[in-house]
Chains A and B, each alone.
Chain A
């Protein structure tokens, strides 16, 4: 295979042994999302301590890209503050796995890569805006989630 690689050692390894895979019982935030056309389907679980992510896990079924990106995302956001999440861009996640090229080369597979990030932004938004009634803290996360791909 040539061109920009997708199936790197790292992606395969993460898809075989995903990080932070599993459930958090009674999580503060549980967000389900799926890509209707390809069958990726994940649940993201988050615990919030003040305005920090104190714990995060995910589970579900998905392709190697979805599994790897969800793994890396959970690793990257654990302990991060709400403000950090608001600033978190998709490029940060994609470049961690060398998948920036997907934005241009594969409008289909980019959805696999960003599914968990979308779930994260929506999840945090609804936690603050709806559960905590704190629309200010929730900020633009909903719009950001909607415009990810």
Chain B
């Protein structure tokens, strides 16, 4: 049985908090949800929080003086404090609410990038990035005449960091934009090492933490990077809420990303002065309801404890890898060591296209992701068109992994393997 420590919820209790896990899908099959790297399910605590907000508090924030506006503003800002505590962020004004990780990275590429990257400079990223951490840098480098360089991966799906040394040695690197955890391979980047190398030569580091914050303890103060981005919906929270954390001194020197309400101090006919941080980067009415109910997701994870979340995933990944490595014709991608990866398993089954695998096992209620996972650069590297990806979370059971594995037999039967 999986060990979630006492003083928190048992696995059974956790599952009881997620109504969707009781769903029957297709031909009355029990839902086996293994697409958590795409988005996680939401517990009642989060669903109730959003209902409560709209039933009792709904109001715009930061302006009006009436009771609802004060309550909403207070709850909205309370989420910012909760995030600061959860990730050990010293200055709450360094936390900016955006739509998601993608918008956070774009904000940096547009506001910081266009003032700090010029012709001849280098921006470094990696072969295992999500498109959201490649495309904004392609656009920026193409626009400015800078160069985009990739850190390659080795056969174990780990980064060849000696390439980073080579790039840094040119003295031309302005930014390293890198995933904390790969969304396809689950590989955990040696992020402290990357940041240290960059800091030694004064190079800025942006960390895409979309697949890290939901799955392990992240300490931003200790990391010492410059930008860190993640999304609420991959950690039990609602869609449409992302966080950009950036150092105060950098944010102060950055131009706003968007102009509009809330980001201003004074507007005159031909000039405007900016509001203080973080509001300077939060133009327009934000996603008030979802930011507020995100606090319930953080509370939930904090109650379980991120070390327990991580240990649960290690145990599941170990279990899945042991079983799946014995299946004939199954190719696994990425580190085969659960200590080096998050709860993500990418695989191909014989030469069956992942879309066919996913469609067949979907009939058994098993939800996995198939495709290129917004990581076509990585697919090219692995020389595959697509992979299957099973990804776990706090409510995943070994029994569900067994169902996945049994379903693969169905695939073998259909394709006469």
B57 at the A interface (CB under 8 A): no
**Chain A, 96-134, CB within 8 A of any chain B CB:** 106, 109, 112
Per-residue 0/1 for A123-149: is the Cβ within 8 Å of any B Cβ (1 yes, 0 no)?
Answer: 000000000000000000000000000
Question: Chain B interface mostly helix, strand, loop or mixed?
Answer: mixed
A112 surroundings in chain B (CB, below 8 A) = 355
Closest approach, in angstroms, between the C-beta of B206 and any C-beta of chain A? 25
Instruction: Assess the B385–A41 pair: CB atoms within 8 A.
Output: yes
Instruction: Assess the A3–B27 pair: CB atoms within 8 A.
Output: yes
Nearest residue (CB) in A for B373 is A39
Given known contacts A1-B410, A12-B415, is B356 in contact with A65 (CB within 8 Å)?
yes
Instruction: Assess the A12–B353 pair: CB atoms within 8 A.
Output: no
B292 at the A interface (CB under 8 A): no
B414 surroundings in chain A (CB, below 8 A) = 1, 7, 12
Closest approach, in angstroms, between the C-beta of B331 and any C-beta of chain A? 15
Per-residue 0/1 for A1-25: is the Cβ within 8 Å of any B Cβ (1 yes, 0 no)?
Answer: 1110011000010010000000000
Instruction: Assess the A63–B356 pair: CB atoms within 8 A.
Output: yes
B391 at the A interface (CB under 8 A): no
Given known contacts A7-B414, A12-B416, is B385 in contact with A39 (CB within 8 Å)?
yes
Instruction: Assess the A7–B27 pair: CB atoms within 8 A.
Output: no
Question: Chain A interface mostly helix, strand, loop or mixed?
Answer: loop
Nearest residue (CB) in A for B364 is A1
Nearest residue (CB) in B for A112 is B355
In the assembly, what is the distance between CA of A109 and CA of B371, in Å?
A: 12
Instruction: Assess the B363–A1 pair: CB atoms within 8 A.
Output: yes
Closest approach, in angstroms, between the C-beta of A107 and any C-beta of chain B? 13
Closest approach, in angstroms, between the C-beta of A133 and any C-beta of chain B? 33
Instruction: Assess the A38–B371 pair: CB atoms within 8 A.
Output: yes
Closest approach, in angstroms, between the C-beta of B276 and any C-beta of chain A? 41
| Centre residue among A12, A38, A40 by max chain B CB count within 10 A | A38
In the assembly, what is the distance between CA of A63 and CA of B414, in Å?
A: 14
A1 surroundings in chain B (CB, below 8 A) = 360, 363, 410, 414
Instruction: Assess the A7–B354 pair: CB atoms within 8 A.
Output: no
A40 surroundings in chain B (CB, below 8 A) = 355, 385
B356 surroundings in chain A (CB, below 8 A) = 7, 15, 63-65
A61 surroundings in chain B (CB, below 8 A) = 353, 385
**Chain B, 381-417, CB within 8 A of any chain A CB:** 385-386, 410, 414-416
In the assembly, what is the distance between CA of A19 and CA of B41, in Å?
A: 43
Instruction: Assess the A62–B353 pair: CB atoms within 8 A.
Output: yes
B215 at the A interface (CB under 8 A): no
Given known contacts A1-B363, A3-B27, is B370 in contact with A38 (CB within 8 Å)?
yes
Number of interface residues of B (CB under 8 A): 20
B132 at the A interface (CB under 8 A): no
**Chain A, 39-61, CB within 8 A of any chain B CB:** 39-41, 61
B42 at the A interface (CB under 8 A): no
B416 surroundings in chain A (CB, below 8 A) = 12
In the assembly, what is the distance between CA of A41 and CA of B376, in Å?
A: 12
| Centre residue among A1, A12, A62 by max chain B CB count within 10 A | A1
Given known contacts A12-B416, A109-B359, is B353 in contact with A64 (CB within 8 Å)?
yes
B354 surroundings in chain A (CB, below 8 A) = 39, 63
**Chain B, 108-143, CB within 8 A of any chain A CB:** none
B379 at the A interface (CB under 8 A): yes
B372 at the A interface (CB under 8 A): yes
In the assembly, what is the distance between CA of A37 and CA of B177, in Å?
A: 24
B352 surroundings in chain A (CB, below 8 A) = 64
Closest approach, in angstroms, between the C-beta of B95 and any C-beta of chain A? 32
In the assembly, what is the distance between CA of A114 and CA of B312, in Å?
A: 42
In the assembly, what is the distance between CA of A61 and CA of B351, in Å?
A: 11
- List residues of B whose CB falls within 8 A of some A CB: 26-27, 352-356, 359-360, 363, 370-372, 379, 385-386, 410, 414-416
- List residues of A whose CB falls within 8 A of some B CB: 1-3, 6-7, 12, 15, 37-41, 61-66, 106, 109, 112
25 A-B residue contacts at CB 8 Å? A1-B360, A1-B410, A2-B27, A3-B26, A3-B27, A7-B360, A12-B414, A12-B415, A12-B416, A37-B371, A38-B355, A38-B370, A39-B371, A39-B372, A39-B379, A39-B385, A39-B386, A40-B355, A40-B385, A61-B353, A63-B356, A64-B356, A64-B415, A65-B355, A109-B359
Contacts A12-B416, A15-B356, A63-B354 known; list 17 others, CB within 8 Å.
A2-B27, A2-B363, A3-B27, A6-B359, A12-B414, A38-B370, A38-B386, A39-B355, A39-B372, A40-B355, A62-B353, A63-B353, A63-B356, A64-B356, A65-B355, A65-B356, A112-B355
For the complex of A and B, the 6 pairs showing the least CB-CB separation, nearest first, are A39-B386, A63-B353, A63-B355, A61-B385, A39-B385, A7-B414
